Amino acid sequence: MPDLTIKNLNLSSISSNFSQFFNFTVPAGTCMGLSGPSGIGKSVLLKALADMLPHEGEICLDDVESQTIPAQQWRQKVALLPAESQWWFDRVGGHFQHFDEALFASLGFEKEVLDWQISHLSSGEKQRLACIRVLMNKPEALLLDEPTANLDQENRTQMESLILNYQKRHATPIIWISHDKEQLSRICQQLLTVEKNHFNITSIGPEQTEEGVFA
Amino acid sequence: MIELTPWDLVIASSMIILLAITSLLLQLNIAKQLIIAAIRNVVQLLLIGYILKLIFNSINLFLLAIIASIMLLVAGFEINSRQKYPLKRWIGFKIGTSALFISSFAMALLTLMVIVAPTPWYSPQYAIPLLGMLLGNTMNGISLGMDKLNQSVYQQRLVIEQRLMLGQSYQEAIHEIRSESIRTGMIPIINSMAIAGLVSLPGMMTGQILSGTPPVEAVKYQILIFFLIAAGTGFGIMLAVWMIAKRMFDDRQRLNLDILQIKR
């Protein structure tokens, strides 16, 4: 049961908006929504949690601190799905080691998607395929940067249920950036609101409110 | 051999001047560069002509080492010039010079001590032209490979970061770019090996034939030189590209382009 625990995380060296020290836990199998004004650095926070940016403080998955294992191993465990996915081969298939029929089908793709050209994909298709690509790595924690931003209602529902099913099976802690308050209250138990130099954590749903640490 | 008189060179230089005037009239903006390059060419070559005359008369390992070091340092410095996204000066110089040194000097020593083996092995008449050809070609190769590498990494930095996010090592994330860069650096030497004799007669061979060496002897030397240059260039490019690629990531395998001079 992996909890994602953040202790004294400080990002002041990379963002002037973050003088505070982050301390919070995303318990196994729960989802923390992340919201705040655009440009405040929500994506920066997620990148730091995936150890893609230099930071001070500790990020632990269960008892494993990020710096104690090789960076690539950490990023396989704590997977970041960026807002805009990148593709480097000509066709979809090049980006997947194998084909997982059930996983692709859950977002409405059939096997021939592997032959599709990347340049012909819509932004929504890219977003759905990027989500599949991340889940195929079997991550133990998920950091999602507006995963459903380019999707219509139907695809959004499919994607949400795919991710929540994965979470249910693997007790995955998730941090989910979204500007959609309704979506957050639907899928999250806690809400992390970041503002300039402070943040607070509220519970969405039955649990009681817990204040964040101010710097 | 028919010796050239100063007048012969004057006639040839009038062609350059004619070209410069034409480009001025057509507003092509290359006249100045052309004239400067031509003047540099005359001064540098005359100078080295006299220096070589001096050195050839006194076979001295110490003197040779000094000349070789100067050649190496100049080539190492020039590698980082004319790049679209150059490395920071000192890093570029360090990486370029060490890659050049290892590959070119290894090939030159192999030739001088084992293959051609003149007595003494450091006879400047063999050592200097050989090292010059190796350094010049390897420098070109490294410079092209480096240009391709820096430009591709800079333009594809988001792709590289995406690949790192998916848990790839930096080696995997940069693999295609790295092999493309090495390939780019190798194109000139592979091309010139491929067309040698069919389209162009290589410069060294032409020179030897003009000065009276039997063609087959000249050909043997040219083949030797091609092989050495190809090997030296290949190893030099690989070394440089590997070193630069490694420096582009920090100890946690994050892309860090601090080693590039980015003009904003």
pLDDT in the model for residue A141 = 97
Chosen for mutation from B160, B162, B166, B171 (greatest number of chain A CBs closer than 10 Å) is: B166
Chain B residues closer than 8 Å to A137 by CB: 166-167
Going from N- to C-terminal start, the domains of chain A cover: 4-88+124-203
SS3 label, residue A23: strand
> How distant is the Cα of B218 from the closest Cα of chain A, in angstroms?
47
Token pair listed for B111: 């030739």
CA-wise closest residue to B222 among B199, B195, B203: B203
DSSP-assigned beta bridge partners for residue A22 = A9
Kindly tell me if the per-residue pLDDT of B200 is higher than 50: yes
pLDDT in the model for residue B264 = 56
d(CA B141, CA B118): 28
**Please, which pLDDT band fits residue B263 given cuts at 50, 70 and 90?**
low
Chain A residues closer than 8 Å to B169 by CB: 72
Q: Given A67, A71, A134, which is nearest B253 (Cβ)? A: A71
Q: Which residue of A has its CA nearest to B161?
A: A52
> How distant is the Cα of B162 from the closest Cα of chain A, in angstroms?
6
Q: Which residue of A has its CA nearest to B158?
A: A86
Could you give phi then psi for residue B144, rounded to 5 degrees? -65, -45
**B159–A53: do the CB atoms touch at under 8 Å?**
no
pLDDT in the model for residue A206 = 44
pLDDT in the model for residue B256 = 94
Task: Give the mean pLDDT of A45-62.
Answer: 95
> How distant is the Cα of A210 from the closest Cα of chain B, in angstroms?
31
Question: How far apart, in Å, are the Cα atoms of B62 and each of B36, B124, B129, B132, B184?
Answer: 33, 11, 17, 17, 37
**A76–B167: do the CB atoms touch at under 8 Å?**
yes
For chain B, the residues whose C-beta falls within 8 A of a C-beta of chain A are 156, 158-159, 161-169, 176, 250, 252-254
> How distant is the Cα of B248 from the closest Cα of chain A, in angstroms?
14
d(CA A161, CA B63): 77
> How distant is the Cα of B94 from the closest Cα of chain A, in angstroms?
26
Kindly tell me if the per-residue pLDDT of A48 is higher than 70: yes
> How distant is the Cα of A81 from the closest Cα of chain B, in angstroms?
8
Task: Give the mean pLDDT of A109-123.
Answer: 96
Kindly tell me if the per-residue pLDDT of A214 is higher than 70: no
Of B28 and A117, which is predicted with more confidence? A117
Residues 6+ apart with CB under 8 A from B43: none
Q: Which residue of B has its CA nearest to A47?
A: B165
B221 touches B204 (CB < 8 A): yes
Summarised one tens digit per residue, pLDDT across range B70-80 is: 999 999 999 98
Kindly tell me if the per-residue pLDDT of B236 is higher than 60: yes
Lowest model confidence (mean pLDDT) among B3-17, B94-108, B157-171: B3-17
Q: Which residue of A has its CA nearest to B174?
A: A88
Q: Which residue of B has its CA nearest to A52?
A: B254
CATH architecture of A4-88+124-203: 3-Layer(aba) Sandwich (3.40)
d(CA A35, CA B105): 59
User: In angstroms, how far is CA B227 from the centroid of its own chain?
Assistant: 15
Of A139 and A19, which is predicted with more confidence? A139
Mean pLDDT of chain A: 92
Q: Given B158, B159, B167, which is nearest A75 (Cβ)? A: B167
Summarised one tens digit per residue, pLDDT across range B30-74 is: 888 899 999 999 999 999 889 888 888 878 899 899 999 999 999
Name the pTM for this structure. Answer: 0.88
**Please, which pLDDT band fits residue A215 given cuts at 50, 70 and 90?**
very low
Summarised one tens digit per residue, pLDDT across range A193-211 is: 999 988 999 998 644 444 4
